[in-house]
Amino acid sequence: MSGTDSQRRAAVLGSPIAHSLSPVLHRAAYEELGLGDWSYDRFDVDEEALPGFFGQLGPEWAGLSLTMPLKRAVIPLLDGISETAASVEAVNTVVFTEDGRRVGDNTDIPGMVAALRERGIEQVDSAAILGAGATASSALAALARICTGEVVAYVRSAERAAEMREWGERLDVEVRTKDWADAAQALHAPLVIATTPAGTTDALATAIPERPATLFDVLYDPWPTELAARWSAYAGSVVSGLDLLVHQAVLQVEQMTGCAPAPLDAMRKAGEHALAAH
């Protein structure tokens, strides 16, 4: 995995990885920034193969994006991680410094905050989260920055409920949990963050109030989800998973290349074009 002296490399790792939009977004940024000697690839790497992959990286490597199932598995392989990554025990960005260190960060959390800020959401007095997986903990960490009151998480099991309350304590967010059977109540919150897999929230689309506030649905393919489409039809504000993907990628590009600001609009257009073609 060596390259020429001038070449700089980056990539996204995960398993499965074939449908990742990260190469589209990062390559669009390189083109816009005039970084003709930079390349960005994707590699299907699972937890078992990760140490070996790291072991063969040469000095031409600038950084890595990480998706499931590697966001926690990578931490022991790093020289340090940011406070943001430590807060949720998840790394989605690795930067290789000039002195040879491998430093982990989490751009999902500030990416969520930036995506909301772009839609004029600077602060909310309460919020609801649908789901309790890894993305839900990132959502809680984002809400720690912008929510002044209670967060209600709608979950399917007592175990998940306990996990979300524990994350709330760690992140200093007031978290109350409710059963998924009551999830329609979430739709009345000033900010609803849906972190569940495709199809999970479809049944809630018929329960949207007359004047919904803001929905942040972290999915982007297929898009729009049933919930997001109906939310828009009711004139509610919708933030998509592509918004999140682009904003977290902007931060990755800036960290890996040292070029700021990264070209948000060009990256978003490239992502939209790729999804439309797909």
Q: Per-residue pLDDT tens for 105-155?
A: 999 999 999 999 999 999 999 999 999 988 999 999 999 999 999 999 999
Q: What is the DSSP string of 23-91?
A: HHHHHHHHHHHT-TTEEEEEEE--TTTHHHHHHT--TTEEEEEE-TT-TTTTGGGSSEE-HHHHHHT--
- What's residue 66's pLDDT? 97
Residues 6+ apart with CB under 8 A from 36: 30
Average confidence (pLDDT) over 31-37: 97
- Rounded to two decimals, the pTM is 0.94
Residue 177, C-beta contacts closer than 8 angstroms, at least 6 positions apart: 152, 153, 154, 155, 160, 161, 164, 165
pLDDT tens for residues 159-198? 999 999 999 999 999 999 999 999 999 999 999 999 999 9
User: Please, are residues 236 and 210 in contact by the beta-carbon 8 Å criterion?
Assistant: no
Q: Residues of the chain with pLDDT > 90: what percent?
A: 96
Q: Residue 269 catalytic?
A: no
Q: Which of 27, 71, 102, 247 is catalytic?
A: 71
The candidate with the shortest Cα–Cα distance to 64, out of 102, 106, 93, 105, is 93
Segment (H or E) for 39: strand 38-44
Q: What is the predicted pLDDT for the residue at 77? A: 97
Q: At residue 1, does pLDDT exceed 70? A: no
H/E stretch holding 28 reads helix 22-33
Q: Which pLDDT does position 278 carry in this prediction? A: 77
- Residue (of 50, 55, 52) closest to 72 by Cα position: 50
What's the confidence (pLDDT) of residue 4?
Answer: 45
Structure tokens that stand for 130 in this block: 């649908």
pLDDT tens by residue, 241-251: 999 999 999 99
Mean pLDDT, the chain, rounded, equals 95
Task: Say what the pLDDT of residue 3 is.
Answer: 46
